[in-house]
Structure formats: C-alpha cells, structure tokens
Amino acid sequence: MRQTGRGARHAKSGKGQGIALVEVLLSGFIMTTGILAVLSMQTMALARAQTNSHLLQAEWLLSDMLERMKANRSGFVISLQVLPRGLVKAQCETVSGCSPAELAAHDLARWYHRVATLLPTGNVEIRPVTVAGYPESARTYQVFVRWQTDQDTWAMPVSSGIVVL
C-alpha cells in the first residue's frame, strides 16, 4: 500500500535524519581524532624544545669550563688536586683578586652551582684521562656534564670535552 500526502513525507524524512545523524557523528569522530593528533604533536614538540634547551645549556657550560681551564692552567692543576669541588671566595670577585689556584677553585664552585641550577638533576665530573698522542706527563682532563631529560626515564644525556693543561 502506498502512502501519499503527509505520511509519505514523514517516512522519507525519518530515514534521511538517521543518515544525517550518522554523518554528524562520523565527522565529529574524525575532527576529534585530528585535534588529539595535533595536541599530541604539540606536546612532543614542547618536550623536544625543552630537551634541546638543556643540551644547549650543557654545551655552553662545558665550553665555559674548558675555556676557564685553558686560561688558568696552573691554577686548575692545583685546584683539581686540592679542592676538586671548588670553593667560593668573595675576594676573587673584587679588584684585588686572588691567586690562580684560588680563582680556579672559585670558578669550579660557581660552575658546579650553575650546572645544578640550570639543568634538571645536573651533575658534572672532571677526571684525569690518558689520551693517545700525548705523553704520560701531560695533564689531560675529561669534563662531563650530565642531566636528566624527563621524569619518566633516567637516561642521562652527556656532554663532554677534553682539555690538556
């Protein structure tokens, strides 16, 4: 039996509304998935930017210490044997100054503090090493800067360099 008039119109529109609802739900799902993907990429980009910032700071701190060690060779040779963690001495910041060994100890203490301040769980190590091509008498040191990248992993990236005093 065929419906004519008002009843036919309502039957067609009910079926059309069901299809439209499925289309709306499907497009909502697709848009939600896309937005979540964009948010995930943004989060990963921010994490990478933070890691790169720490790497840049570590490289700067490493370069700073290597240059200080080269500039004050005799002071660092003594200071690394006597005060390997350094000692802050206020007079090294004044015009009257201090001895090369005191300046090296002062530089070490301030450097250790900067590493701890700028890098998450940052730590450093300066140790004597033997390098091929240099005599045994050469005072060669390797400087390491380590830090933690994020709270979930304990893999600690390392920046290191070698200096001959």
Which are the contacts of 141, defined by CB distance < 8 A and separation ≥ 6?
Answer: 69, 80, 126, 127, 128, 129, 162, 163, 165
- pLDDT, tens digit, 9 for 90 and up, residues 22-31: 888 999 999 9
Single-letter amino acid, residue 42: Q
Q: What is the rounded distance in angstroms from the CA atom of residue 96 to the CA atom of residue 111?
A: 22
Of 42, 66, 62, 65, which is closest to residue 54 (Cα–Cα)?
A: 62
| Nearest-5° Cα angle at 78, 129 to 99 | 145
- pLDDT, tens digit, 9 for 90 and up, residues 99-149: 999 999 999 999 999 998 888 888 888 988 888 888 877 888 999 998 887
For 43, the token pair is: 């989060």
| Nearest-5° Cα angle at 78, 115 to 127 | 50
For 102, the token pair is: 């005191």
Residue position matching structure tokens 């001895």:
99
- pLDDT, tens digit, 9 for 90 and up, residues 53-106: 888 998 999 999 999 999 999 999 999 888 888 888 888 888 778 899 999 999
Which are the contacts of 50, defined by CB distance < 8 A and separation ≥ 6?
Answer: none
Q: What is the rounded distance in angstroms from the CA atom of residue 165 to the CA atom of residue 156?
A: 28
Domain residue spans of the chain: 6-64+107-164
